[in-house]
Structure 1
Amino acid sequence: MVEIRMEVEVCAFGHITKESERFRGIYRPFTGGPPYFLSIALRRLGSSVFVITRLAREDAYLLKELYDLGIDVLVLPSRYTSSFHTEYGRSFDERTLSVLSVAEPFHVEDLEHCPKPRYIYVGPLTTKDFNLEFVKEARRVAPIVLDVQGFTRKVVDNRIEYVDWEWKMEGMKYVDIFKADIKEASILTGAEDPLRASEILSSWGSKEVLITSSEGVYLRVYNKMLFAPFKVDSIGGRVGRGDTCLASYLHARLRGMGYKDAIVFAAATTSLKLREQGPLKIGEDTVFEYIRSNYSDTDVRYL
């Protein structure tokens, strides 16, 4: 039985996944899932995190890296582990995602296992992972951080079909920090421009709205917009980009950084993560050094 800390900065709910991909004939298995990338980034940056996940007993080995980093994990029972396989075409932009299996969803009762957090993170992979009742009850416990990705991904015949989030108007009322990529933001709002999309999303209730793109990260707060660019000399791994961006922004806010500093910190951390496959491998000091070297002349202002 895992020893649960009485207090933790982030309690993260979501499925840790067994994944694989094939690109240009090369097959690669790897561990994934929103709480995997998010919790490792938080831990390496210096924030405390407790992960609550569901997976099959025989797949417990997927958690080794989290345990090695001292991350507390509670595994709730599931007959299956969420598992996905991606086949790429000529580029990373051409891909087909197959759903091999899906773990059981989370329930309101699962919140009883959550220690006293400053934030609860909700990281769905599919539309069925969490329901409105879970989100509403979680907000009674702590402010909610939501990565909306899974609420736009419906499993149809072992494939992912992108759909609108059915209960978005009600659900957004309970979300304090909201994150989407530019495609998901467009699905939810019908707006392709991130400034307009973030304006609509903010009007539905979320206080801080993050939108990631290939160029950088946008933040809308108090009806104003900030943008910080990614500064990358080489790209080695895109999987986990959004999770790392959200984790680093959350870490910055937990450390008392203002919105401008937090969005630059998130962009810099994500830039460093993009260099390599897998989760974040560096700490806070390296990020600050990268900011001094690469962002000193970057004018981050309200748009």
Structure 2
Amino acid sequence: MRYLLRYIGHRLYTTWATFWFVMPFVVTYPLQLALSKKPQWHRHLHTLNRYWSKLFIFMWGMPVETVRKNPLPAGQPCVYVANHSSYIDIPLLFRTIPGWLNIMGKLSLAKVPVWGPIFGRAYITVDRDNAISRGRAMVQARRTLEAGRSVVIFPEGSISKKPGEEMGEFKDGAFQLAIATGVPIVPITMPLNHRFMPDVDGLRVRYSPLAITLHEPIPTTGLTAADAPALRQRAHDVIASGFRATAKGIPEQSSWRRPVAVPAVEQPAAKKESELASSNS
């Protein structure tokens, strides 16, 4: 009975979370579509996206711990670099980071039905396996910074294979961009997103607190392209310092059946005798 009740609870909460993600978008879709049509309206579209993110994260009902280690540079754009662990990384960033942001996302996001074209018009998309696409995205990001607008980049390029434990190898692009434009790097750690919605087949949602830390900005003034690897490693270490040992792993798939214990495999007698002899030698 305990497993059945837990399974029903998971299904109900997943339905609740999905409803509050989808419903505000459906209601505001005509406005979002209209605002996406002209670049001069994208600022208002981002504001709408921020309130959409705040609303559905609030309605999900779990606490969000927000830590800002140091005030962000006033009136200056930044390159925000964050670990990538879940589908909800972008909404949590939109909710937390002030101002009109641009964000670099994978090209497949622009191909999501209905919502994708809006994202593709308003933000930067990139095919990370295509050198031309990567170059075009960096040009867009540089123009964004030069216009006084901050940029968010996931330097891993994709969701980590071991979220909350290890990050994929960081690419140099974000750090070369920050050095070239002279703007600070702001590392961001989101250590718990994968506990709420992991990157798995199907939709798996679990009630779980969230947390986000905006670390102290790292200045790039006076740095050259040769300093990019050291800057990349420094940002990597800062982000990793915010991980939590208790957040390792992803939630298991829910089932209404009691787990069946797998019996230990009996070792052949000859192998047991060999191991015993080895331990006594």
Q: Same fold (TM over 0.5)?
A: no
Answer with 1 or 2: which has the greater Rg: 2
Tell me the TM-score normalized by structure 1.
0.29
More helix by share: 2
Tell me the TM-score normalized by structure 2.
0.31
More strand by share: 1
